Homo-oligomer: A and B are copies of this chain.
């Protein structure tokens, strides 16, 4: 590898992997070999391990002792919990965002929605999914609550894994409508409405998943025969 001496700290590698997971380029259950990742990024296992540990703490990666790192496969229960946690955090955060939003923020959110549409038109569903998540993160940022924003960032990324495992066809359409409506409420500084819309949006998202029972396709063959 003769990359032009990139600043490849553990953070950047973690971010790169997280992005790939978020965009569904890395499927749940995928093995992340330390050697392999290290070779790709041109660093030693030391740095890769740091990155993987970080991702493990965000629950995007599962570390199995003496077995290595794998892209996480949230259980049904965890899937539900992730959305329940979002339901606790995001509606009130949307309300706060409505009270603080600036014109610049509105422009950014409009841009997000436009990019999302564009990605969908081009068939880049992974990218569209990522942007759709970033819309939520952006709202948390606007609310100016860094601590909560961090939690939401993590939950959104985990939601991407949940979607990869428990997505139930169709939808994806209502998505952008919901985001549009949210943006309108935010732009109008209507906190109460933004809160309600966010609550509703999350419920819609959750019901578009199939979190009832046994029908997720396990990506790891071996794992499949153990459960």
Q: Which of A's residues lie within 8 Å of B, judged by CB?
A: 46, 49-50, 53-54, 57-58, 77-78, 81-82, 84-85, 88-89, 92-93, 145-148, 151, 155
A65 shortest CB reach to chain B, Å: 9
Q: Are A146 and B78 in contact (CB under 8 A)?
A: yes
Report B-chain residues with C-beta under 8 Å of the C-beta of A46: 46
Report B-chain residues with C-beta under 8 Å of the C-beta of A49: 50
Number of this chain's copies in the complex = 2
Report B-chain residues with C-beta under 8 Å of the C-beta of A82: 147
The one of B50, B53, B88 that contacts A92, using a Cβ cutoff of 8 Å:
B88
CA gap between A93 and B81 in the complex, in Å: 12
Q: Are A81 and B50 in contact (CB under 8 A)?
A: no
Q: Are A85 and B145 in contact (CB under 8 A)?
A: yes
Knowing A50-B53, A53-B50, A53-B54 are in contact, say whether A147-B92 is a contact too (CB < 8 A).
no
Q: Are B151 and A85 in contact (CB under 8 A)?
A: yes
Report the nearest B residue to A150, measured CB to CB: B59
The one of B53, B57, B89, B148 that contacts A81, using a Cβ cutoff of 8 Å:
B148
